[in-house]
A and B are shown apart, each in its own frame.
Chain A
Amino acid sequence: MDEKQRKKMARVPFKKVIKKHWMLLLMLAFPVIYVFIFSYIPMSGIIMAFKNYNYKGGIYFSPWNGLANFRALLIAKKLGPVTRNTLLYNIVFIFLGTILQVGSAILLNEIGGKVYKKTAQAFMFLPYFISWVVAGAIMYNVFNYERGIMNQVILGIGGEPFDLYNKPGAWPFVLTFLKMWKGTGYGSVVYLAAITSIDQEMFEAASLDGANAWQKVRYLTIPSLVPTIVTMTLLAIGGIFRGDFGLFYQTVKSSALLEPVTDVIDTYVFRLLMSSSKVGVSAAAGLYQSVLCLFTISVCNGLVKKIDPDYALY
């Protein structure tokens, strides 16, 4: 649409739009109200971070208490560690996740057998279909000390059983493995789609020039995927301060021993909220996270816009 047309449309009078498009407006009515209630009203609720919340006063009539909630957060000294955990886990998830997703997309594309490919892909999707409750249960069945599958195998070959639930140091690896296990099959679809849209003539031309299969992957497929990789990575970085609540909550199950290596901002906010006397402090931690998220999303979107405006969020 060119500039002229846009200007013409912007000038359509209010009443005329309502008369002409009342049906479209009717379609939008429920979502608009829904979003207002469930997103915009909570947005105004960030004032809770500056209030001493009580049930009677609710969000709007509880007494103000200035920065006391933030002071309490600083005194608790948990914000630093949970932010670090959230950040480090997500960096590893994004980095490893991208490698695995791109790798499996390329290899899935290379293998010829249709049945093999379809079956393998269905299997790789399977973990994506289960809830974190089930994933946590599966993990417990594999790793628990007494009857875990892993320890049975270790005992079977005459080794020392390994008590994961008493070994905080091993958790970053296990959680990373679990996250990759659950998400790789799903994540690879985006790259698979990108591969199929690569111009096939390039590959034929490369073959004529004497490129072998590995060289084609190295010099054609991977470079063609770079824009998608960059975009997906930047989008993921936009959410880098948001922890995967289900992953951490359903596997760790609020074990104090594991907390230092498994507590992320989301689980911390949740815990504060559930210990009802700290609602205000919890809101303050939540506001801290929201602001961090807004900042990273804006920066990332700015970068995406520079690289490939088509992929920018706004």
Chain B
Amino acid sequence: MDEKVFTKVRSHRRLSADVVSLKIVGYVFIGLFALVCFLPFYLIIIASFTPEKTLIRSGYPLIPKEFSVEAYKLSIKNPESILRAYGTTAFVTIVGTILSILLATMTGYALSRKDFPWRNGFAFYFFFTTLFGGGLVPWYILCTRYLGFKNHIHALILPMLFSVWNMIISKTFMAGIPAAISESAKIDGANDFTIYFRLMLPLSKPLVATLGLFSALAYWNDWYNCMLFITDEKMFMLQYYLQRMLGDAEAMKTVAEKSGLPLTAVPLESMKMAMTVVATGPIVLLYPFVQRYFVKGMTIGAVKG
């Protein structure tokens, strides 16, 4: 209790003009920046719930006046394609994230073992690929001509499965876990896989959470691999589906305007908004769950790549 009173008194005394002015600048700047970051999301969500007529008549509202879920109903009206895109994206994200966490941490663990004499050789083998690469073209030709990536689900998972950066982050993190823990387990007869699964992984929660978030983000938000390798509409991922839909909407609008045809076939404004919300949604909801680990996990990443 004494401690509390003391800090209270002290903080009161410290609140001089310079502290107040710095705080005001801080609150204002951070507040404005946060607002700028948030505002577009807010506008899109509001617009997605606004009836199409109102959008056309008076543009995007700042404050919601009317409420309608028409746009969402319409975007799910063609459920097959959008639900399939959702399914593909969810599958790719879950499988890709789990596998890439396992690969990065397993490799990181093997290379963090100080008693493993070849670890530097292997580390360089991986690391060299971040310094020099063949570039997009040979990689693309390899994937399409030799590995059969065209319209294959592999094309959506494999390209992002293993990241050398994630491996380095894992290695750095696991090197920081006292070696005595795994050594004592070893004396008790545990083998390397047991140590990795039963000891190192549970001890690396911030690492796993951070890697998991980054991988899930990368997979969920991927449109690039889909654009390069997938032409079959049945295998489109959500972001690429959205990209195509928005692109088609613009093209159709231009055609309709030029030819004087009615705009009935064109995806509606509010529907585009609803699609954007639908495509973004779940991944943003992940943030609160991993926020706890986030800063810690990312700090490891900051030091040494």
Contact = CB atoms under 8 A, between A and B. Distances in A.
A149 B58 CA distance: 11
A172 to B, nearest CB: 19
Given A23-B191, A35-B129, A123-B37, A134 B22 contact: no
Given A108-B30, A133-B239, A286 B18 contact: no
B6 interface: no
Contacts of A39: 129, 133-134
Contacts of B109: 27
Contacts of B72: none
Nearest to A18: B118
Contacts of B167: 31
B272 to A, nearest CB: 7
A282 B117 contact: no
Given A107-B30, A131-B239, A189-B295, A290 B135 contact: yes
B78 interface: no
Interface in B77-126: 103, 106-107, 109-111, 113-114, 116-118, 122, 124-126
Nearest to B257: A146
B217 A111 contact: no
Interface of A: 1, 9-10, 12, 17, 21, 23-25, 27-28, 30-32, 34-35, 37-46, 48, 53, 55, 58-59, 103-104, 107-108, 110-113, 116-117, 119-127, 129-134, 137-138, 140-142, 147, 149, 152, 181, 184-185, 189-190, 192-194, 207, 212-215, 217, 228, 232, 235, 245-246, 250, 253, 266, 269-270, 273, 279, 282-283, 286-287, 289-290, 293-294, 297-298, 310-311, 313-314
Interface string B130-142: 1111111111111
Contacts of A140: 246
A222 to B, nearest CB: 13
A23 B192 CA distance: 6
A127 B37 contact: yes
A46 B136 CA distance: 10
Contact of A189 (B36, B103, B114, B299): B299
Give the top 7 A-B pairs by smallest Cβ distance, nearest first.
A45-B138, A286-B135, A42-B134, A131-B221, A212-B18, A23-B192, A39-B129
Contact of A147 (B59, B141, B239, B288): B59
Interface string B169-200: 00000000000000000000001110010000
B146 interface: yes
Contact of A116 (B27, B141, B243, B291): B27
Given A23-B191, A45-B141, A104-B33, A189 B117 contact: no
B260 interface: no
A184 B38 contact: no
Contact of B162 (A9, A34, A42, A46): A34
Chain B, interface SS category: helix
Nearest to B288: A122
Interface of B: 14, 16, 18-19, 21-23, 25-27, 29-31, 33-38, 40-41, 43-44, 47, 55-56, 59-60, 103, 106-107, 109-111, 113-114, 116-118, 122, 124-127, 129-142, 145-147, 158-159, 161-162, 164, 167, 191-193, 196, 217, 220-224, 239-240, 242-243, 246-247, 269, 272-273, 276, 279-280, 283-284, 287-288, 291, 294-295, 298-299, 302-305
Given A31-B103, A134-B242, A149 B145 contact: no
B174 to A, nearest CB: 12
B117 A10 contact: yes
B139 A38 contact: yes
A73 to B, nearest CB: 13
Contacts of B272: 137
B134 A110 contact: no
Nearest to A36: B125
B154 to A, nearest CB: 12
Given A1-B114, A110-B22, A131-B221, A104 B30 contact: yes
Given A110-B23, A123-B34, A290 B132 contact: yes
B224 A246 contact: yes
A253 B125 CA distance: 37
Contacts of B304: 310-311
B80 to A, nearest CB: 21
10 contacts: A44-B134, A45-B142, A123-B35, A124-B34, A189-B302, A207-B14, A213-B18, A214-B18, A283-B135, A290-B133
A30 B220 CA distance: 24
A37 B162 CA distance: 12
A10 B295 CA distance: 38
B118 A46 contact: no
Nearest to A193: B299
Given A27-B109, A214-B22, A289-B135, 19 more contacts: A27-B110, A28-B111, A39-B133, A39-B134, A42-B138, A55-B145, A104-B30, A104-B33, A110-B23, A131-B239, A133-B242, A133-B279, A138-B40, A141-B44, A141-B47, A190-B302, A217-B22, A270-B136, A311-B304
Contacts of A23: 191-193
A278 B298 CA distance: 41
Contact of A279 (B124, B131, B139, B141): B141
